[in-house]
Every structure is written in structure tokens, then in C-alpha cells.
Amino acid sequence: DTGVSQDPRHKITKRGQNVTFRCDPISEHNRLYWYRQTLGQGPEFLTYFQNEAQLEKSRLLSDRFSAERPKGSFSTLEIQRTEQGDSAMYLCASGYAESPLHFGNGTRLTVT
């Protein structure tokens, strides 16, 4: 169990640029989640995969956000035309069945 890894740890970008984050889950986990967390708040659900299928996407997620999980392994989260309001910590988590989630240490995005 090498844990959930996320890359990069930090990303600073200018407004209007596109960014992509990567998440490598624990290998035997079939479920993968993306959450967003702002200062002083709890993680907010963005989207969820079971294997390679994206089963749910938050209604709060604009069309500028897209996530993929090709072959049910790693996942990427892309934000197009970033806005200052996108600044947050983006957390990835994985699990199997209804077991507790294992979280990565997140990618902190700052949009200037």
C-alpha cells in the first residue's frame, strides 16, 4: 500500500490558463473521488469514478471542469480557463466497496 499520490502538490497559474492535476490511487481500489476544499471548509464533492466509469458529477461543477480515469487506473482533473474562484485544495481519494476512503495530500491551486 503506497497510498494515494497527487501531482503536483502546488500549482500557481494565471487566470484564463488551463491546468491539469493527476491522481494515482491505491492500485486495488476501484472507486476514485475528487473533492475540493477551501480554507476553513470541509471537502466538497466534485466527481466520482467506479473503475473507468464516471458515475456522478456535482451540479456545482461547471463545464470548465472535466475528469477522466482511463482504464480505471490513474485519474486526471482538468480545469479550463481558470478563474480566481477556482483557487482551492483539490483532493483525490480512493476506496473499494464501502470501505473508508484513503486521501492523497492534495494539489493546492492558486489562480492569480
Q: From the CB of 16, what's the least distance to another protein, in Å?
A: 27
Q: From the CB of 55, what's the least distance to another protein, in Å?
A: 6
Taking CB under 8 A as the criterion, which residues in 12-71 touch another protein? 31, 33, 35, 40-45, 48, 50, 55-56, 60
Our CB check for another protein shows the closer of 76 and 80 to be 76
Sign of the CA dihedral with 105 first, then 87, 13, and 22 last: positive
Our CB check for another protein shows the closer of 43 and 65 to be 43
Sign of the CA dihedral with 14 first, then 110, 25, and 101 last: negative
